[in-house]
Amino acid sequence: MILPFSKMHGLGNDYVYVNCLEQKIEHPNELSKFISHRHFGIGSDGLVLICPSDRADFQMRMFNADGSEGNMCGNAIRCVGKYVYDHQLTQKTQLDIDTKSGIKHLDLTIENKKAVFASVDMGKADFNSKHIPVKTPYPEFISQPMLVHGEVYLITCVSMGNPHGVIFCNDVDHIALEEIGPLFENHEKFPDRINTEFVQVIDKKTLKMRVWERGSGETFACGTGACASVAAAVINGYCNADEEVTVHLKGGDLKITYQKDQTVIMKGPATHVFDGVIEVDV
């Protein structure tokens, strides 16, 4: 099959985007593994399918580089908004996108007839241990000690439609993420695995973050992870509710606001890299 695609990224968190409004992908899990390979495929953090929805403007399905389907991706959903606007699939600048973690509302910023930026209502941060999920007797898992690789880490767990564990540290640049990331991701406390954020507090309105994403490893940016980090920072007293926080990631900055009602607003860019076609047999 000859498959048209677009390569796009949000702050370096790159995915291959396929228009599924008029075609069907039979085996998206296998396709994601194939195209994500950075030597034998296109090279990406995963695959995003843009599909029709009977309850929103469009549906987003996202698959990690290991073929597992994710519930939500904050960087990818901004790129979905850019894709449908730039490809003239809609003229709307306010969109509802259907995801596995619910319908998310996007507000697009247009420059020179192209969408370049998006504000996304990411829904409410959920600290309920059962919803994340975390195997624990505590109703919430906030700043709780975990022994990993012989070291005790204080971790705060939160769901942004997908599971996150946030660890505050003094120096994110020297975390051995390739070594300890998989140990958190596959820890027995997390039956659905977990995305792990290591966060350095610069000041009340600035965080620096590195992320190990389940199914993809370290990525340049994680939108839901940035949201989870700010939510955890507010809960732990490092930042204030209702104040915009800049999160520095390897690929650039996101602006995150954790509101007093636990709703999280994310603002960031969406970038088109190139279009192409690839022959696939999956």
pLDDT digits 0-9 by tens, 178-200: 999 999 999 999 999 999 999 99
Q: Is the pLDDT of residue 282 over 80?
A: no
Of 20, 51, 157, 222, catalytic? 222
Dig out the tokens for 197 from the structure.
Answer: 């954020």
What confidence score (pLDDT) does residue 281 get?
83
What confidence score (pLDDT) does residue 1 get?
86
Q: Is the pLDDT of residue 92 over 80?
A: yes
Q: Is the pLDDT of residue 22 over 90?
A: no
Per-residue pLDDT tens digits for 30-52: 999 999 999 999 999 999 999 99
Per the CB < 8 A criterion, the answer to whether 226 and 254 are in contact is: yes
How do 13-19 and 2-10 pair as beta strands? antiparallel
Residue 51 appears among annotated catalytic residues: no
Segment 54-69 mean pLDDT: 97
Per-residue pLDDT tens digits for 94-114: 999 999 999 999 999 999 999
Looking at every residue in the chain, the average pLDDT score rounds to 97
- Any idea which residue has 């389940």 for tokens? 214
Per the CB < 8 A criterion, the answer to whether 34 and 3 are in contact is: no
Q: Name the β-bridge partners of 201.
A: 207
Segment 255-266 mean pLDDT: 98
Q: Is the pLDDT of residue 25 over 80?
A: yes
Residue 157 appears among annotated catalytic residues: no
Of 73, 79, 157, 227, catalytic? 73
